[in-house]
Structures are given as C-alpha cells and as structure tokens.
Amino acid sequence: MAKIIVVDRFEENYAICENRKSKKKMEIDISNLPEGTKEGTVLRLCRGKLYIDARLQSKIEERIQSKMNDIWED
C-alpha cells in the first residue's frame, strides 16, 4: 500500500513532510523529490519511489477551498 505524504516546507536541503495517515513528520532530501515538488505538493510513496499525485492534490485543494468559501459566507 502506498503512503501519502504532503510537503509542508523546505529547510536547507530537506523537505519537511507529513504522512497523511499517521501525521508523523519526516525529512526527505530534496535530491529524492520528483521534479516540480513545492510546498503543499502531495506525494505518493510506492515501492520506495516518490511520485506527485496531482489528482489527490486537486481533491484536497478543492475541499480546502470549499471550507474557506463556507467560512467567508457566514
């Protein structure tokens, strides 16, 4: 089963990431990240390799935007 990881921020040569399921923080050397990774990027760790999961990232962004819209409408 693949792990879902979100890039929180960058510090020096590392991306500080959070495992979406366990909420544990981890450091990943930036040389191991897929090209185009930035803060907020959703990564899928599968068989020891990281991939950008654009579909899941889009779903998360839509859910956040919906919540923000609900807050501002009240």
Placement of tokens 């889009």 in the chain = 58
Q: What is the pTM of this model?
A: 0.79
Residue type, 62: E
State pLDDT tens for residues 8-61: 999 999 999 999 899 999 999 999 999 999 999 999 999 999 999 999 888 888
* Phi and psi torsions of 72, nearest 5°: -75, -20
User: What's residue 10's pLDDT?
Assistant: 97
User: What's residue 73's pLDDT?
Assistant: 74
User: What's residue 32's pLDDT?
Assistant: 96
Residue 24: give its domain's CATH number. Answer: 2.40.50
Token code pair at residue 12? 């020096």
User: What's residue 74's pLDDT?
Assistant: 59
Domain that holds residue 32: 3-73
The CA-based dihedral angle spanning residues 48, 24, 3, 42, taken in that order and rounded to the nearest 10 degrees: -100
User: How many domains in the chain?
Assistant: 1
